[in-house]
Amino acid sequence: MHELIHCMPYCNNHGREFKKYAKIINNTYGYDISRVGNKKKDFEKSNIEFSETKTYKFKIICKGCKQEFYRHRLHKNFTRKYRCAKCGGRFEIEI
């Protein structure tokens, strides 16, 4: 559903129009469309066991809320340029 919203006029990013349509679909049909995906959460809704099969180069941890996510590549100034969307905290990178 997330990707289908991008097909709507003026929804080629995650701006105001995207959020408007996501909210309408979430409220009407009970979806949980968000700006970013959460693979582990999606698996919890299904009957399929979650297992991370890919290996990633970098593990990023928010120093504030301890949220973890993984990346194959990083921007060279990642820790200076980006902050956590949940709490605004800085990131720590483990290799």
Q: Which two tokens mark 12?
A: 């080629």
DSSP state of 51: -
One digit per residue, the tens of pLDDT, for the chain of length 95 reads: 889 999 999 998 999 999 999 999 999 999 888 888 777 777 777 777 777 666 788 999 999 999 998 888 898 899 999 999 889 999 999 87
Q: Which residues are CB-neighbours of 5 under 8 A, at least 6 positions away?
A: 11, 18, 21, 22, 25, 33
pLDDT score recorded for residue 27: 96
Q: What is the pTM of this model?
A: 0.47
